[in-house]
Amino acid sequence: MKFQWYFRSVLFFVVISSFQNGICQPLEKIHFKSQFDFTISSDYYLKNKSRLFSEIYFNNLFSDQYNNGESNITPIGSGQFLLGFEKKFKGKWSGGLSQKFIQESQLKTYATRLFLRHSGSFLNLIFDKRLNYEVEYYSNATKPLGKASLFVSLAKRIEINKWAIYPAVSFQVFKASKQKDDPSEKRRFSNSILRADFLLNPSANFLFGIFIQKETNYYFGLEQFDQNGMTLKPFRKLNIIQPTLGLTFKYQFHPNNIPKGFFNFLN
């Protein structure tokens, strides 16, 4: 019970901080073009209700490139591979460890994550809360970056004949650690992800669906001047927004071992 109040306190702090951050300074939003992602994942449930999981995530598969005024869909982007283990604790609690490898055009990233999850319910909805701490190692950097995050999701199971449908919404907010040799001013949160999923469950083993997502990265924009020294843009908050449309597919081994009330659609 004390841990549940801790989750609620953290969520309340995130909401209040978001309101406070939007009061004092002007805000500029920059919207990127939508990208397309695709995810393949699997869960292997053990007899003790714990699970092994893996995921392959294809990010920004296609880009709309222009050549001589014509639009051409060109394959670009990055890929990542995730492997992890989640241990079932007493009641609705669980925790785990995962390792992620990300390959981009000229950058490789390794990330190790620890997380604590509470799988509960709210107004007959599946209410999932997760605290994460991740350390990222970049191939072009000498120091790793630590990042804490809070993830919450709500999902509803709707049964139609032998199928089950899961509409779900989720929100995750990240706080990156400040590097000692970085003098720049940082926003309270580094980025956030708001996502909506529509998932189909034709059998106990298969889960697939479509999702839309908005990722926002939070920066400060420096004051800008014209050639006469007049202010073009003041010092401001700068939000870089990336919309995404994607498909997801999951296979679940030994679904009879899934804990009651547990629903995992995002690693």
Torsion of CA 189, 121, 197, 170, to 10 degrees: 0
Is 35 part of any domain? yes
Q: Which residue has the higher pLDDT, 184 or 56?
A: 56
Q: Give the mean pLDDT of the chain.
A: 85
Q: What is the pLDDT of residues 104-120, one digit of tens each?
A: 877 889 999 999 999 99
For residue 261, the model assigns a pLDDT of 82
Asked if 204 and 252 touch (Cβ cutoff 8 Å), the reply is yes
For residue 125, the model assigns a pLDDT of 94
Q: What is the pLDDT of residues 5-53, one digit of tens each?
A: 555 555 555 555 554 444 567 888 999 989 999 999 999 999 999 999 9
Checking if the pLDDT of 195 tops 90, the result is yes
Count of domains forming the chain: 1
Distance between CA 240 and CA 215 in Å, rounded? 8
Beta strands in 32-162 (DSSP E): 35-45, 51-59, 62-67, 70-75, 78-88, 93-103, 108-122, 125-138, 145-155, 158-160
Checking if the pLDDT of 210 tops 90, the result is yes
Mean pLDDT in residue range 233-252: 92
Domain that holds residue 78: 25-257
Lowest mean pLDDT among 13-27, 79-93, 112-126, 130-144: 13-27
Helix/strand/coil for 11: helix
Provide the CATH number for the domain around residue 224: 2.40.160.40
Checking if the pLDDT of 223 tops 90, the result is no
For residue 77, the model assigns a pLDDT of 67
Distance between CA 63 and CA 74 in Å, rounded? 5
Residue 109 backbone phi and psi in degrees, to 5: -130, 135
For residue 143, the model assigns a pLDDT of 85
Is 88 part of any domain? yes
Alpha helices in 22-155 (DSSP H): none
Asked if 197 and 168 touch (Cβ cutoff 8 Å), the reply is yes
pLDDT-based confidence at 92, cuts 50/70/90?
very high
pLDDT-based confidence at 62, cuts 50/70/90?
low
For residue 67, the model assigns a pLDDT of 45
Is 244 part of any domain? yes
pTM for the predicted model, two decimal places:
0.83
Is 7 part of any domain? no
For residue 66, the model assigns a pLDDT of 45
Neighbour count for residue 43 (Cβ, 10 Å): 22
Token pair 């009879």 in the structure block, residue: 256
Distance between CA 58 and CA 40 in Å, rounded? 9
For residue 193, the model assigns a pLDDT of 97
Distance between CA 59 and CA 81 in Å, rounded? 11
Sign of CA dihedral 26, 171, 214, 98: positive
Token pair 């014509």 in the structure block, residue: 70
For residue 65, the model assigns a pLDDT of 47
Is 108 part of any domain? yes
